[in-house]
Structure 1
Amino acid sequence: PPKVYPPVPAEKRKPIRVLSLFDGIATDPGVGPIRSGDWGQSLQ
Structure 2
Amino acid sequence: MTTIVFTILFTMNRFECILFAIHHTCYFSHVYTHTQTHTHNNNCM
Counting helix residues as a fraction of each chain, which structure ranks higher? 2
- Larger relative contact order, structure 1 or 2 (CA cutoff 8 Å, min sep 6): 1
Interval of TM-score (by shorter of Structure 1 and Structure 2) = 0.3 to 0.5
- TM-score, normalization: structure 1? 0.41
